[in-house]
Amino acid sequence: MIEREYAYYAGCSLEGTASSYDRSIRAILKDLGVVIKEPVDWSCCGSTPAHAMDHVLAGALAARNLAIVERMETATLTTPCPSCLSAFKKARAKILTDKSFKDEVNQLLDDPYEGTVKAKSTLQVIYEDVGLDAVVAKVTTILPDLKAACYYGCILSRPPRLAAFDDPENPVSMDRLLAACGIEVRDFAFKTECCGAAFGVPKREMVLRLTHKVLNMVQDCGANCVVVACPLCQQNLDLRQAQVNRAMGSSFSLPVLYFSQVLGLAFGYSPVELGLDKHIVSVDRLIRSRSPKGTEETASPAKSAARKNAARGAEETNRERERIASVVKET
């Protein structure tokens, strides 16, 4: 496998409440031969609140980090956080198409940003640049009891022209990565519904209602865990799950894992190495049955066949959805 190099922007969440995401991302990227370099003196990208106050300031907060990467002479910055990714992509797009905006932004910076560095989600790097074959080659462990609902959230693949990754209504990158690792992936209708994002404090009741809808659909589709790529989604679905149960009269007990943690388990890392012990809803009961790859046929031929059929079914469903989407676009 060709070794690839990226600037890696963890962002504020991954240094705090989502440190397990950062830990697991770094582990699997190393295994996959991806070299990452952290920008020196990086700062907050502005994420959710900055653009609500001042669009130029929001652009400058994101552009400052992109300018640092330009000086590193690295072509691509990757970040695991969809909110950070959106901030970087919006700033670059505006700077490349609006000279007056670019001039205003650069007046606020010590070093100007010229727009040469692009941003990619770390999920996209693994799915597109590294590829499924390289991921499969690193799998050492099977996880027979996981039945995953892949939840992408509302901004990872949106707006489509800006995100330029996956399908905005029916994304499949996490589904395919997990299926390639032998994980049973359930057909989940709420892949891109909003969980309430950063409104947990100012609009708590709204967030609890939205989160309840997502968790309810996870349960209805037959999944026993949620797999995410966003620290805000993970926080709302995991940390607030008990609050949802109290407010809505539900009894959810659904572990919420980052996709990188699932890949890490498949690569043979322990739950503690991946930070799974930091989550509120324990995943222990679902991963006790993990075992070395190659033992699934002798241990339980029926379960092995079921997992293969489920993965095949998920692929067929996704292909059919893509075919329908292409027909709709043509008409």
Q: Is the pLDDT of residue 312 over 60?
A: no
pLDDT, mean over the chain? 90
Q: Is the pLDDT of residue 327 over 60?
A: no
Say how many C-beta atoms besides its own lie within 10 A of residue 300's C-beta: 15
**Per-residue model confidence as pLDDT tens digits over 65-110:** 999 999 999 999 999 999 999 999 999 999 999 999 999 999 999 9
**Per-residue model confidence as pLDDT tens digits over 172-184:** 999 999 999 999 9
Among residues 290, 221, 218, the alpha carbon closest in space to that of 256 is found at 218
Q: Is the pLDDT of residue 149 over 50?
A: yes
Quick one: pLDDT band at residue 325, thresholds 50, 70, 90? very low
Position 299 scores a pLDDT of: 44
Q: Is the pLDDT of residue 121 over 80?
A: yes
223 φ/ψ angles, rounded to the nearest 5 degrees: -80, 155
What is the average pLDDT across 235-247? 97
- Higher-confidence residue of 280 and 306: namely 280
Position 51 scores a pLDDT of: 74
